[in-house]
Structures are given as C-alpha cells and as structure tokens.
Amino acid sequence: MTANVVDRPVAAATGRSTGFRAVVRRVRRDRWAVASAVVIAVFAVVAIGAPLISAVTGQDPYAYNIDALNDFGAPRGALGGVSGTHWFGVEPLTGRDLFAIVTYGARTSLGIGLAATVVSIVIGVLVGVTTGFFGGWYDRVLSRVVDVIFGFPSLVFMIALTAIVPTSFPKPVLVVLVIGFFGWPSVARVVRGQTLSLVSRNYVVASTAMGAGRWHVIRTQLLPNLAATITVYATISIPSMIGAEAALSFLAVGVNPPTPSWGRSIGDAVGWVQTDPMYLVFPGVALFLITLAFNVLGDALRDALDPRGADR
Amino acid sequence: MTDPLLQVEGLRVAFGDAEPVVRDVSFELTPGRVLALVGESGSGKSVSAMSVLGLLPPEARVSGSIRFRGAELVGAPAEELRAVRGAGIGVVFQEPMNSFTPVLSIGTQITEAVRAHPSGLDRTGVRARVDDLLRSAGLPDPDRIRKAYPHELSGGQLQRAMIAMALAGDPVALIADEPTTALDVTVQAGILDLLRRLGRERSLAVLLITHDMGVVADVADEVLVMRRGEPVERGSVTDVFARPSAEYTRTLLAAVPALEARPGSATSVTATGADEASNASRPVVARLRDVAVRYARRGGPTVSGIDLELHEGRTVGLVGESGSGKSTIGRALAGLVPVVDGTVEVDGVDLRAARGKRLRDLRSRVGIVFQDPASSLNPRQTIGWSIAEPMVVHAAGSAADRTARVHDLLAAVQLDPSWAERFPHQLSGGQRQRVAVARALALRPALVIADEPTSALDVTVQAAVLDLLASLQQEFGFGMLLISHDLAVVRQLADQVVVLHDGRVVERGSTAAVLDDPQQDYTRMLLAAAPVADPARQAARREAWRAWEGVAS
C-alpha cells in the first residue's frame, strides 16, 4: 500500500506529538509517575532546604549528643531513640540527629547524582553524535575506547583512584568525575545508534545536500530528534549514579566524613543492625525511594516520548 | 456462473468508538473470478478484506454479514475462523520481504503451512507437495528454493513462494493485498499473470486489493471502487472502465498518467528534431561525463559510463528498475556519493574538485525532492523552518526576508502561507511533498533533482504534484532530473528520457522517440510490462508481454 496519506491535515490533537506539553499530559495520566515526581520534588525540596529544616528541628548533623546514648553507645529509647526532638532517632556512638543526617545526606546524594549524570550525558552525547555522524577512523577509534571503558572493572578502578588522588583535591568533585567518567560509554552507544539511523533520513540528507555544514546539521537536525532519548536516558541514569555514590561511600571511599552521606550511614549501620535496626532503615528507605522514583519516572517518560505508543 | 463462495453484506468496521472506517460494503467472490477492491489510501480496502479472516486488531468492531460457503464468519469462534484461514482462504501480503521469517528456510516455512492442516501425508509426501506448490507458483527449481533463506531470493521469487504457501491448504479463495506494489513492473507482470492463471486453473476466487488502476485492468473481472470507507461503484471491469458512472471513479481514472501516446498527439520525427534544436539553444545547468560511482571498496562500480546533460527549463527523465542506479546518479549530482571516475559539472563548476565552502555553495544551486514524504521533513521543526533552512545555511537575507520568502514559496506550491507554523505530522503526504518542493526551490536553484517524487502518493495526489512541478519549472526555469520507475510519470513531465539497466545507460532520446519507438529490447520489455488502465488495451499488451517474457527466458 502507499504511505499513510490522508486527504486533509490531521488535527494536532489526534497526531501523536512529542511536544513538551503533550508529554507532560501523558505522564500525568500515569499515577505511579505522578507519585514518583512528587517523591522526587519532596527530596529536592528537602535537599535544598536542609539548613532551614535543621533550624526548625533545632538539630545539626555535625553536633555530637552523648546524652541521647546509653552506656554501650546505643541510642536510648525505642526505635533507635525516635522522639519529638529526634524524629528519626540518633546515630549510635555519636548521638548525632539521624533526621538531620538523612536530610543533609539528600544533598550529597542528589547533588553528586545529578552532577555525575550531567558529566556522563555531556560526554556521551558529544561522543555519540560525532562518532555516528562523522564516521570513518574517528568513529572506529572512539568506539574502541567506548568498548574498553565498558569492559573495565570500574568499581575497582574507582576505589583505587579515590585512594590515590591527594586528599587536597575536593572529594565530592572527584566522586562526580569518577562516576561520571564511567557512565558516559553507555550513553555514547545509545546516542551513536540513534544518530546512525537519523543520518540516513531524508531530512538530514536534504540538509547536507543544500550545503549545510556539519555543526548546523548536528545542532538543528540531529539534537532536536535525540532530545527525547537523552531525556529518558538521563532520568534513568540518575538513580544508578546515586547508587554508585552510595556504594563508594559504603566502601568508605566516597565523600569524607563527617559530611553526611546515605551510603556511609548504611555502611555504618550494618554493624548495628541487630541492636539498632532503625539506623539502617531510615537512610536505606531514603535511598530506595529516590532511586525507585527516578526509575519509575524515567520509564513513564520513555513511554510518553515513544511516538509508536498509542495515545491512551 | 457458479454460486458465490463468499458473500459480504453491509459490512461495517469501526475502531473503538471512532467513526467507522468501513461502511455498507458488500461484495461477493465467485470461483474462477477476480474481484478487485480499488481505492486510495485510507479508503478501507485492506480493512474490508482482513475482516473476512478476522485478522483485525481486537478493538475493531465488525458488524454486517460475512458468509463463507453459507457459514457466518462475523462473531464466529476462533477455531472456526482458523479452519477457514489457510484451508478455506489463503492470503498474500504486500511486502514479500516481511512476510517470511528471516531465520528459517523457505522450505521449512511452507512445510509448516502444509502441516498446519491435517493432510495424512508422510515426510516424503509433504516434500513432494511443497515441490508441487513451488512449481505451480512458477518457481521451476524447487530444490534450490526450498533450501534458500528469504534474503537469498529476489522480491519476485519471494512473492511466488508466498503464493505457494497461501496455496498450501488447498484454499478455495485467495486474498491478495497489494501483492505487487513493492515489486518492479517486469516482476509485477509475472506475478499478475500467475494470479490470473491460478484463478482459472484451480477455480480460485481471488480478492485483489490494489491502488493501481492498471493492475485492475490487467487481471480483474469485477471491480469495487471504494472511497473513505464507502463503496462508490461496483461492476464488471469492462463496464466501469468504459463507462464510469460515479464522479470519483472518473477522477481516479483521469488522474492515472497515460503511458501510451494519445492518438493524434503522436510526435513525428520533425517535432523531435525541433525538440533537439530548442534543447541545444538552452544553457546547460549540469553535465555528467563518463561518470562512475562505487560504494564498496572492492567490486564493480554501482554505475559507470554515465553521460548526461541537463538544460535550463528542461526535464530529463531517468528510468529503470530498482537497483539500476538511478537514485545513485541523482545523488552524484548533489555530491552526496563518491564519484570515482569522470566529471560532474554543476553550473559550470566541477563538483569533484570542490571542497568545503565551495562545495557547500555549489550545493545551494541544486534542490532535491525525495521519495518518501514521511522522512523528508524534520518532525521536530515547523515546515516554515524547514523551508527557510537553506536560506539560513547560506545566510541569504534577513529574518524578515526569509519569512516573506517562505510565504511566497508556500503560495507557489499552493499551500496556505499561514501553515508555516505547522509541524509535518499535521500535514498529509501530498502536502508534505509540496513543502519538500518549496524547500528545494528556496535558493532558486539551477537544477532540481526529483527522486521518485510521487511514488509514495495516491494517484490523484500524484497528478497534482506532477502538475505543480511542471508549472513551477515554467515559472522558475530550473533544469530538472526526474528519477522514476514509472514510465507514465516520465512521459508526462520529461522532455528527454534515459533508460538505465544495471548501472549503464541502455537507451536515450526524446521522450516521444524512446517511449513510442523504443530501439532496445530492455526498453520494450519495460514498456510492455507496465499495465495501462484500459482493459481492452491491456489485454493486447499482456499478449505482447508474454511474447517478451518468452524471449527473455
């Protein structure tokens, strides 16, 4: 049969648009996605407003509070010392307020997660688009580099690197760079594949044929059509970045103490799980919720941006 | 006349709660006769046919009556429908390449179809049956075909294998959904011949779905014309073609470009001579000399020894079957493919020697219109942006100038200038193709390359786009290279024709000379294979084609 040609223009509403508003409308119809977006928003507010929250509760994540502990260094009271002053109880051995640690930990996790994602997406998109579009030896060399980094035992390398780099180098920046550096090859591969299929489309060929330069084609033809993929990929890679930061902190090679971090709290709490299980539960639930929320939202975005899906 | 095998009455199909896509369609199939459902895209012809087999998506609501040998199929249980599929009614789809699983051999897949319906045959019996089927589908060496995988066969061979598979359950009726649309004309002629023969020999009732009036004239006995889900006209082929009663049928027939010279307008040798003279007086906009293009590092060139001259205000038609290299030549003119030999001159400048900025400037002298309107415009940008893009690239004029020029161009291609803000998905295929034409003309190019500009469009839309191209050429005076597989389209627009076969020029000359009095066998075969929308003429042409086929094989 001939192409799907209609006699008159299709109304905008019936066409499957991937415009911003249409995507928001479709995501809003997914209850889980809305809940995830709310969770992410709450965490973002908590992370940004952490000093304000700690001012309201009158607690500070760095202040030791030996009075809240019993003789063995475990928190006094039930559920790890949960009370009106210490909402999530206190940290064993130090008596620091766990609520303050979790709220400040959100800053570390989200901050490093987002920054590392930006790093990996920027490098990945740059490499992916250029290799897919230029091809030739440039593509062959960089694609091999991607393969090598993919096969690298990245966790071992990250641990080694964070141990070697002099302590004067700011630790959060180092963690961002290390995690971001190992995140870009997967982005580059996906973007390169998409670019390869876009390059053979007639509108890209037409642009070249009318005398457009390479950067014009990349900027006006390729990137707008890659935007959906990049958005989805970024959303889905944030939780894995947060997880990677938590893993490094868990292994005591993440951000330096006493900077609060969920990963380190979880690492410390493992030893206390029999006597004070709540110490593990609060940072663990926080980590679980935010990674789940980003994954669910990313999934909903992918469905919403997929032009093949039916407009439910 | 025998009793009808399949009776469809008052068929109505709707998807969900939307407006029905098929309304009040009635037809019947009789053994040994071919019924053609003809209409443009969106007319509901495929939906009507697929509803017979219950092959519509689950949200489709079918009402009316479909009776097969007296048994009602609408609302019948799945087991009953399965018995009808294959054993009662066989199906042949449009894309032979997508109709077979690529990972299994053809023999395995046809064996499966033979075994799907109990036959009581043992292993050797099944194999003999598969060979029989392949032979009856016009594949003379079943041993090779049986072992072959789909990618090892040509489109025509695959379609024949598909027909063999459709015959596996000994059906009494055959539904063929655009069986030849993806195939070359010479292959199409063979497949249509096969369908006609099978219909007669096995007294099959054939339901043929097509958009091509030439195909209808070639094989059908009866025809049902559909438009937007409604039957427009029904009758025997001879009656409908000779005396169409519905206005829409007349429009449809008038829109089919004529392949044969209209009586009275036959060009004589003197007219051809005058043609040559006027050609020579016009300035040359592009010239190919002994050009060869090679894609792969090793192996022979895709095209070679191409000489071509394009004059201002004139059109050269480049025709040939798929794989003949016609698109490659168009791309060589735009500097998009590696030319390994010869010279390509556009506007007096050697394209092969140009690099960087010079090449980009040179490219502004060439406009391209592509085949597929769906992918020729960036879905993320407005059509106004797409038309202005060449001007932005070459920094031509201010933003206000560009907006004004976009409006002028939209008006020139007969679209509303206010549509500049729309996105491609809001336009139909024909409208998108007009936008693509407008973009090609944005920089007032000396040369326009139209690569199958209408092959994805409906015939009425095609007629409008061809008229548009002709009138724009009059207005702007560009030289045009028209690449097409359709000889009738070329006849309508081109002043000169170049026939390509396997990357080489077979024949060239003025349009009238080549199409009315071809000198080469290959050109004659192409001409004989293309069906014309006139049953009586087509019957004569079919005989001529059979003679050619005999010569070829």
What pLDDT digit, counting tens, does each position of B497-540 carry?
A: 999 988 889 899 898 888 888 888 888 888 888 888 888 888 88
pLDDT digits (tens, 9 = 90+) for B1-25: 567 888 888 888 888 777 888 888 8
pLDDT of residue B472 exceeding 60, the answer is yes
| Integer angstrom CA distances of residue B379 from A23, B424, B425 | 15, 6, 7
A84 in contact with chain B, both atoms CB, cutoff 8 A: no
Distances in whole angstroms, Cα of residue B181 to Cα of each of B187, B224, B315: 10, 19, 26
The pLDDT > 90 percentage for chain B reads 10
- The predicted-structure confidence for B45-96, as pLDDT tens digits, reads as follows 888 888 888 888 878 888 888 888 888 888 888 888 888 887 788 888 877 8
Q: What is the pLDDT of residue A17?
A: 52
Question: What is the per-residue pLDDT for B552?
Answer: 53
A5: in domain: no
How far off is chain A from B384, nearest CA to CA, in Å? 14
* Contact between B57 and B51 (Cβ < 8 Å): no
Structure confidence at residue B1 (pLDDT): 52
- Across chain A, what does the average pLDDT equal? 82
pLDDT in tens, B336-348: 888 888 888 888 8
The candidate with the shortest Cα–Cα distance to A87, out of A52, A45, A46, A59, is: A59
Q: Give the number of other CB atoms < 10 A from CB of residue B368.
A: 28
- For B358, the closest chain A residue by CA position comes to A211
DSSP B490-511: HHHH-SEEEEEETTEEEEEEEH
Q: What tens digit of pLDDT does each residue of B100-137 get?
A: 888 889 989 988 888 887 777 888 888 898 998 998 88
Q: How many domains in chain A?
A: 1
Residues of A in contact with B255 (CB under 8 A): none
Contact B428 A10 (CB under 8 A): yes
Residue A86, pLDDT above cutoff 80: no
Dist CA A275 CA B357 (whole Å): 74
Q: Is A25 among the domain residues?
A: yes
Nearest to B415 by CA among A306, A308, A8: A8
- Report pLDDT for A56: 79
3-class SS of residue B224 = strand
Residue A86 belongs to a domain: yes
Contacts of residues B292-297 at CB distance under 8 Å and 24 or more positions apart, as own/partner, are B292/B339, B292/B340, B292/B341, B292/B342, B293/B325, B293/B328, B293/B329, B293/B332, B293/B337, B293/B338, B293/B339, B293/B340, B294/B338, B294/B340, B295/B337, B295/B338
Rounded to a whole number, what is the distance in Å from the CA of A204 to chain B's nearest CA? 8
Average pLDDT of chain B, as a whole number: 85
> What's the token pair of residue B257?
């470009």
pLDDT band at A7 (very low <50, low <70, confident <90, very high): very low
In chain B, the residue whose alpha carbon lies closest to the alpha carbon of A1 is B178
Exposure letters B370-380 (e unless 16+ CB within 10 A, then b) = bbbbbbbbbbb
Which stretch of B41-45, B249-253, B513-517 has the lowest confidence by average pLDDT?
B41-45
Determine, yes or no, domain membership for A3.
no
pLDDT at B275 over 60: no
Q: Over the stretch A96-136, which tens digit does the pLDDT of each residue have?
A: 888 888 888 888 889 999 999 999 999 999 999 999 999 88
Minimum-distance CB partner of B390 among A1, A18, A210: A210
Question: Cβ–Cβ of B360/A10 closer than 8 Å?
Answer: no
CB contact under 8 A, A203 and B372: no
pLDDT > 60? residue A9 = no
Residue B146 has pLDDT above 80, yes or no: yes
pLDDT: which is higher, A270 or B262? A270
**Domain of A284?**
21-69+80-305
What's the farthest any 2 CA atoms get from each other in chain A?
84
Share of chain B above pLDDT 70, in %: 95
A307 band by pLDDT with thresholds 50, 70 and 90: low
A158 within domain boundaries: yes
Q: In terms of C-beta density within 10 A (0-12 exposed, 13-18 middle, 19 or more buried), how is residue B281 classed? A: exposed
The answer to whether B427 contacts A9, with C-beta atoms less than 8 Å apart, is: yes
Q: Which of A7, A203, A224 sits opposite B428 (nearest CB)?
A: A7
A40: in domain: yes
CATH number of the domain that A273 lies in?
1.10.3720.10
Residue A286 counted as domain residue = yes
Q: Rounded to whole angstroms, how far apart are CA atoms A295 and A242?
A: 12
pLDDT the model gives residue A311:
44
Report CB contact under 8 Å: B431, A212. no
**Looking at residues B261-281, what average pLDDT do you find?**
52
The pLDDT of residue B98 is 81
φ and ψ of B304, to 5 deg:
-155, 155
Confidence of residue B276 (pLDDT cuts 50, 70, 90): low
The pLDDT tens digits of the residues spanning A246-299 come to: 888 888 888 887 888 888 888 888 888 888 888 888 889 998 999 999 999 988
Position A16 pLDDT exceeds 50: no
pLDDT at B385 over 50: yes
Q: At what angle do helices B521-529 and B185-201 cross, to 10 degrees?
A: 50
- Residues of chain A in contact with residue B389, where contact means CB-CB under 8 angstroms, are 207, 210, 212, 220
A26: in domain: yes
Residue B460 or residue B410, greater confidence: B410
